[in-house]
Each structure stands twice: as structure tokens, then as C-alpha cells.
Amino acid sequence: MSLRSFTLFDRIERNARLHGQRTAYRADGVRVTHAEYAQRVQRLSCGLAAAGVSTGDRIAIVAHNGALYLDLFGAAARLGAIVVPVNWRLAADEVAHVLADTAPRVVIAAPDLLASLANADLSAMRTFSAGVDAAGWPAAATLYRDGAAPPPAVIDDPAGLLIVHTAAVGGKARGALLSHRGLLEGAARAAQGWRLTPQDVHVGVLPLFHIAGIAMWMALQAAGGSTIVLPRFDPKAVVEAIEREGGSVMGSFPPMLAGVLDAAAAAGSALKALRVVSGLESPETLARFAAACPHAEFWVGYGQTETSGSISTARLSERPGSAGLPVDGHVVAIVDDEDHPLPTGATGEIVVRGPMVFLGYWQRDPDNAFTLRNGWHHTGDMGRLDADGYLWYMGRSPAKELIKPGGENVYPAEVERTLAEHPAVAAAVVFGVPDAQWGEAVKAVCEATPGTSVASEALIEFVGQRIARYKKPKHVVFVERLPRTAAGAIDRAAVKAAHGG
């Protein structure tokens, strides 16, 4: 390691020394202590090194939550490699793009998800199954090897650890390169804010391809606590984990918390061990949570993949409606279109600087020059700061329209491009509308190609077969002609004004 570095692998080794016999995680029916976790990481790093992985190489994983994710994060950190966690909900073309974009040396995929790799060129990659041998893919279990492991890679903590692909602003997903330092800084700030201790137990319901799920696991690692890794969200399993394992911390996006409250009521559980829930939820669900769990706190925040997690946070009760205070060690400011700082209370673009800011988009120099200009990370989101320093999120900038159904990111440009591939659609405008179940839903207003027609249900399915199904429109409206500006461009504001309800 270099003189001033502290990496995720250092964190794992530290926990093995200080909390060796405490549980690091429970996954796949197995309890793993911190000491055992460090050993598993070393054994997996041996096998990955034998497979040709070295400093800077990428390792992609397409799998449901499980022990392999956590072991892989640690082994990659030991080797100085970079993990590419791939959203298993993506369509085959989208997965192919992620793999072509990052050119991983090793790809690990669950047997039931191999179809999602059907369009990817894997000829230059070593492939392993996250389970039993499948279709000529040897089991990833064979990568765990005893013997002399290579020495830990000599890297600086600003070096990259993860490439997480964000939603497709211009039609193709971009990989955000996240550093050891940024991720560990975010974990430390979350552990500090939530007052985490080695006794805390994280109920891991969020997917480990998502920055929110990764950041929460790392916060428990920062505290020497443990994580119960659930392969998928199941409200009954969450309630059982809270009751049986003393689950005290969890993340939530709509409609997760409502489902947990329903399951708890059915089981007669008061969720007594639960004390911290962090995420996004509807006001109605938050009111239910406050009534059912007065002993627990709901934490709000603002963050992006590009900020390694929440860059501002607070208890909901501190300043209801706000996104909390900027985390220590980071500066959040509000600027106008020319990057001039705006006064307190004025609305403008949210910009951030500090160690949690990502290293840049993978192989996207023009995007990086724009996003990381003038010494700030430009989020593309609008907000304001009040007199006490609380951040208030005010929506997306026109350059970065974003829809968030159930916590996922959907960019209209990608959906519009896919809709336009259908012969019955001459043009389309896509935007988000309020949704009681998911928080926000995708709506498309389509200009029909003269002389053609297609049923809304068929068009929705057409989109769902080409990109991730969570990106497909929930609502479709057909018009004879979309409104245009004087210059002939589609007037998006007019479309939303007419159809945004």
C-alpha cells in the first residue's frame, strides 16, 4: 500500500483484528465472522489472481444479492481491481453495453441470469457461474483457493473500486468510477450520523448493484457491525430478520417500507429492534411508520451514484421536507447557469466538492469536462439552501430530466429513443408523474405516425422487451401532433403542461 492509503481491504483486515468473532454477514444460509470474512477475501483474491486479474482490471458480476458480492468487493480491493456490479434487471442489449464499456477480465453471472448476457461478446473474458456449473461456466466457488496469496496491491485510496452505471442521460448508461476514499468516507459519515456500533445489524434489502445498498453495507463495515444479505426484497423475510436477528438498520425505496409495515402488522410485530431507516418514501407511508415504530428514526438525504451515497442527510423530524445538512468534510453550494453562487433561499443547480465525489465517468472525457468543471461536481439537480444550511431538493434541471420509479433512475432520452424505434411512433416525450405505489411513474406522450396505430399495452411491452422493464412507460397517450416551438423543436414544457397530471 502507498504511504497515505486506506482501502476497503484495510477496513476488512481491521475488523478481523478488532471484531474477529463478531458476525460480519449472514448470507446464503451461512454466518461469516469478520475473521472468516478476511480469510474468504484472501482465498478469493488467490483465485482471481490465477484467473489473470491484476491492478486496474475489471470484474463484472450479474447476480442476486449474496455472499459472493461482499467477498468480491473485498478481493478486488486486495488486488487493486475494480468491480462492475451489473443491474440484473437490465435487458440483454443494456448488459452488453455495460460489458463492452468496461471490458472486464472476469465475468460472474447467476445461472438464472445467463440469458441477460446473450448479446454480449464474452470472447476475451473469463466466465464463472455464481452458483453451480452452468452452460460451460465453472462455478465461482472454484475461485476460492488456499495457498500463498499475492501481496496486497500498491494503490492509493483515491484509486477506483467500483464502476456503477448510472441511468442513460443521452441514451446509453455511463459508468461512474467510485474510489476507495469516497466510498469509505461516505460509510464513515453514515456510521457517525446513525450512531452505529458493532452491535448494529443491517437488514440488506437493497440490491448490491445499487449505490444505496453498497453504501449501507459499507456503513456497517465502518462500525464493525453485521449485514443480513437478503437475495431479494421480501417483506416477511425482513420482519423475520428484524425479530430473529435484531435487525436495527435498513434502507427503503417505495413501496418497500409499506410492505414491511403490512407484514409486521400481519405477524403482530412491533419491529422493536429497528432504529434507523434511510431512504425515500411517501408522506402517507412515513406517517404510518412514525405511528407504528415511534422508537425508530427515518433519515432523509440527497445523493447520487456520483457522490458515493448521501451527500446530505438528517432525521426527517429535524426539518421535514428538506434533504438534510451537508455531511461533514463536504461543501454543497447552489449556482446559476454560469456557475455563480446564489444567495440563501435562491433556487439553482446543486454542486458538490469533497472526497465523496466520484473520479469521473469511465472513458467519457467530454462528459467529465462538463460535469466536473470549475472545481465542482455538477449534479444536474436543482435545489436551495435555507438560512440554517439545510438543502431542499427542487427537481431536475432541464439538461438532466430524471424519473425515479421505486428508487431506480430512468432518463427520458433513453425511453424516447426506444419508443421511436416502433414504426407507429413518429416522436415521443417522456416524463415522470406522481404514483401512489412507486413514488413516480413513467408517462409517454407519443405522436402517431400517419396511417399507423398500436395499442398502448403493445407499445409498453415493446419498450419492456428492449430496455429494463422498470423503464417502460406505465401510461401512454397518443396525439396527432406534438406541440412545436417557433424553431420547430418539440415543446416539452407544453407537453408536460397538457399531460403531466
What is the domain-level CATH number for residue 418? 3.30.300.30
Q: Are 126 and 51 in contact (CB under 8 A)?
A: yes
Domain end point (choices 179, 202, 223): 179
304: in domain: no
Q: Show Cβ contacts of residue 184 under 8 Å, excluding neighbours closer than 6 positions.
A: 6, 7, 8, 11, 157, 218, 222
Domain end: 179, 201, 219, which one? 179
Phi and psi at residue 470, to the nearest 5°: -70, -10
Is 18 in the same domain as 143?
A: yes
Give me the half-sphere count of Cα atoms (radius 13 Å) on the Cβ side of residue 233.
18
> 468 and 344 in one domain?
no
Do 422 and 390 reside in the same domain of the chain? no
Which CATH number do you get for residue 95? Answer: 3.40.50.12780
Distance CA 216, CA 202 (A): 8
Q: Give strand pairing partners of 127.
A: 107
Same domain, 337 and 433: no
- Note the pLDDT of residue 373: 95
Shared domain check, 425 and 352: no
Question: Does the residue 430 lie in any domain?
Answer: yes
Which strands form 82-85's sheet, in the order they lie side by side? 126-129, 106-109, 58-62, 82-85, 160-166, 174-179, 360-361
Let me know whether 13 and 126 are in one domain. Answer: yes
CA–CA gap between residue 64 and residue 86 (Å, rounded): 10
Alpha-carbon gap, residue 481 to 214, rounded angstroms: 44
Cα separation, 386 vs 349, in Å, equals 14
Residue with cell 424519473: 403
Residues 413 and 325 in one domain: no
pLDDT at position 167, please? 67
Q: What is the pLDDT of residue 231?
A: 95
The answer to whether position 467 is within a domain reads yes
Residue 250 domain-assigned? no
Residue in this structure with the C-alpha cell 428492449, named with its chain if needed: 466
Compute the distance between CA of residue 190 and CA of residue 496 in angstroms, rounded to an integer. 37
| SS3 call for 372 | coil
pLDDT of residue 437: 84
* Alpha carbon distance 236, 93 (integer Å): 34
Per-residue confidence (pLDDT) for residue 400, from 0 to 100: 66
Q: What is the pLDDT of residue 34?
A: 98
**Same-domain pairing of 327 and 341:** yes
User: What is the gyration radius of the CA atoms in the chain, in angstroms?
Assistant: 23
Do 174 and 33 lie in a common domain?
A: yes
What's the predicted TM-score (pTM) here? Answer: 0.86
Positive or negative, the CA dihedral 159, 163, 168, 172 is: positive
Residues linked to residue 9 through DSSP beta bridges, in sequence order: none
Boundaries of domain holding 340: 316-400
> What pLDDT, on a 0 to 100 scale, did the predictor assign at position 170?
62
Alpha helix positions (H), 246-355:
256-267, 283-292
Q: Is residue 454 part of a domain?
A: yes
Using an 8 Å Cβ cutoff, are 66 and 213 in contact?
Answer: no
User: Which residues does 167 contact at the CB level (< 8 Å), separation at least 6?
Assistant: 173, 402, 408, 409, 410, 411, 414
CATH number of the structural domain spanning residue 382: 2.30.38.10
* Residues of the chain under the 70 pLDDT cut: 1, 167-171, 398-400, 501
Do residues 159 and 69 both lie within one domain? yes
Residue 116 grid cell: 441477460
Residue 338 domain flag: yes
Total domains, the chain: 3
Q: What is the pLDDT of residue 395?
A: 80
Same domain flag for 348 and 474: no
Q: Which of 341, 370, 400 is the last residue of a domain?
A: 400
Residue 442, domain member (yes or no)? yes
Give residue 133's pLDDT: 80
Asked, for residue 47, whether it belongs to a domain, the answer is: yes
- Clarify whether residues 378 and 459 are in a common domain: no
C-alpha 271/C-alpha 296 separation (Å) is 9
ω into residue 450 within 30 of 0, thus cis? Answer: no
* Residue 488 grid cell: 420547430
Residue pLDDT, tens place only, 1-50: 577 889 999 999 999 999 999 999 999 999 999 999 999 999 999 999 99
Query: What pLDDT score was predicted for residue 148?
Result: 76
Question: Which grid coordinates belong to 106?
Answer: 472476469
Sign of CA dihedral 157, 163, 168, 172: positive
